[in-house]
Amino acid sequence: MTLTAPAAAPPAQTRRPPVRRPVRPLRVLLHVFLTLVALGWLLPLVLAVYASLRPYEETARLGYVSLPEHLTLDYYAQAWTQAELPRYYLNTLIIVLPAVVVTLLLASFTAFAIARLRIPGRRTLLIVFTAGNLLPPQVLITPLYTLYTMVPLPSWLSDSQSLYDSYLGLILVHVAFQFGFCVFVMANFMRTIPEEINEAALVDGAGVWKRYWRLTLPLCRPVLAALSTLQFTWMYNDFLWALVLMSSGDKLPVTSALNNLRGQFFTDYNLLAAGSMLVALPTLIVFQLLHKQFVAGLTLGATKG
């Protein structure tokens, strides 16, 4: 769902003092406006948290905009235990962790081949991969679904005995779909690594693998950090693939499970709010901790010097 232009380091320039002193009242107005916008933006989230902390009976009586009589974490406990959220978190991990690792490995090698080796047709490859990442999933989901039901898997790999309704199937679709974006970003990054490093290694007789694994990949650490943060978030947030390519409720990743559990366990809005917050929590934590990587991932080279 994302794309960015080739990476280029912004010109490192020292900020010079502004030409004119800013007009004071305008500054104040600017802050007032931005504060209002920021608070408006946070409001729905704050509201969801607030609702999740109050008994439904109370909000039903007084409305959501009212002072609390009781604040409780009961709904969180209820969502956690009754809806068995830990199991769905585990499902997400089973799918997302391998998917991120495989995507980055495959994409970094492909990017290396495209950016650093003179393989024939490299431009076409890059275009095809990038374009694939931009397609809306629904364009290919119908045949993919049919295909998944037809591919048999041994039962130790998938208890449904097909790619459909298996963890492996979801991992595969994530890898394939996110691959294009990662190749695009990494190929652009690798182009900025000085060619001389490669030449020196060539003189030393280093093979392709060594040049990729020992030489190029360690230099890509910042991109890998940014991409893994971003990919974790996208894959974690996926809703559609699991909805279409999974049928057993107990194998769903947590984001899709939330919808499935509605009506069954999440009987009222406040409990649903607590569930939503629990589902949102990991991405919010990642965002807080890896703020820089996240933003870097989104904007990776969105700037063209």
Partner 1 sequence: MAVKTRRYSARDVTILVIGLGVAIAVNVSVIWGPTLASIGLSGTGWNGIGPIEWIGGQNYHDLAAEYPPFWSAVRNNVLWLGFLGLVATPFGLFCAVLLDRRLRMSRFYQSALYMPVVLSLAVVGFIAQLVYSSDYGVLNAVTGLNVDWLGDRAINIWVVMIAAGWRHVGYVMIIYLAGLKAVDPALKEAAAIDGANERQAFFRVVFPTLRPVNVIVLVITVIEALRAFDIVYAINKGRNGLELLSVLVTENIVGEASRIGFGSAIAVILLVISMGFIVAYLSQMFREER
236 vs 15: CA distance, rounded Å: 39
State the nearest-atom distance from the C-beta of 156 to partner 1, in Å. 22
Q: What are phi and psi of 162, to 5 degrees?
A: -145, 170
State the nearest-atom distance from the C-beta of 151 to partner 1, in Å. 10
289 interacts with partner 1 by CB under 8 A: no
Q: Under rule CB under 8 A, which residues in 149-208 are in contact with partner 1?
A: 172-173, 175-177, 179-180, 183, 202, 207-208
State the nearest-atom distance from the C-beta of 215 to partner 1, in Å. 14
- Decide whether 85 or 107 has the Cβ nearer to partner 1: 107
Q: Which of 70, 214, 292, 304 binds partner 1 (CB under 8 A)?
A: 304
Record the tokens describing residue 179, joined without a space. Answer: 């691959």
90 interacts with partner 1 by CB under 8 A: no
- Decide whether 6 or 98 has the Cβ nearer to partner 1: 6
Decide: residue 149, CB within 10 A, 0-12 exposed, 13-18 middle, 19+ buried.
middle
Q: Under rule CB under 8 A, which residues in 56-75 are in contact with partner 1?
A: 59-60, 63-65
94 interacts with partner 1 by CB under 8 A: no
Q: Which of 25, 67, 139, 204 binds partner 1 (CB under 8 A)?
A: 139
Contacts 24+ apart (CB under 8 A), 287-293: 287/233, 290/225, 290/229, 293/225, 293/226, 293/228, 293/229, 293/230
Q: Which stretch binds partner 1 (CB under 8 A): 81-89, 93-101, 219-227, 284-292?
A: 284-292
141 interacts with partner 1 by CB under 8 A: yes
Q: Find the angle CA(264)-CA(265)-CA(270) to the nearest 5 degrees.
A: 125
Q: Which of 78, 91, 110, 160 binds partner 1 (CB under 8 A)?
A: 110
With CB under 8 A as the rule, give the number of residues binding partner 1.
109
Q: Under rule CB under 8 A, which residues in 14-53 are in contact with partner 1?
A: 15-16, 19-20, 30-31, 33-35, 37-39, 41-42, 44-45, 47-48, 51
99 interacts with partner 1 by CB under 8 A: no
3-state secondary structure at position 266: strand
CA distances from 232 to 100, 169, 218, 261 (A): 6, 17, 20, 23
Could you tell me how far CA 61 lies from the centroid of its own chain? 39
**Closest by CA position to 165, among listed 213, 95, 89, 80:** 95
**CB environment 97-129: b (16+ within 10 A), e (fewer):** eebbebbbebbbbbbbbbbbeeeeebeebbeeb
- Decide whether 30 or 90 has the Cβ nearer to partner 1: 30
State the nearest-atom distance from the C-beta of 184 to partner 1, in Å. 9
Q: Which of 258, 261, 265, 293 binds partner 1 (CB under 8 A)?
A: 258
186 close to 167: Cβ distance less than 8 angstroms:
no
**Closest by CA position to 154, among listed 143, 174, 168, 171:** 168
Half-sphere exposure in the Cβ direction for 284 (13 Å, CA): 8
264 interacts with partner 1 by CB under 8 A: no
Q: Under rule CB under 8 A, which residues in 228-247 are in contact with partner 1?
A: 233, 236-240, 243-244
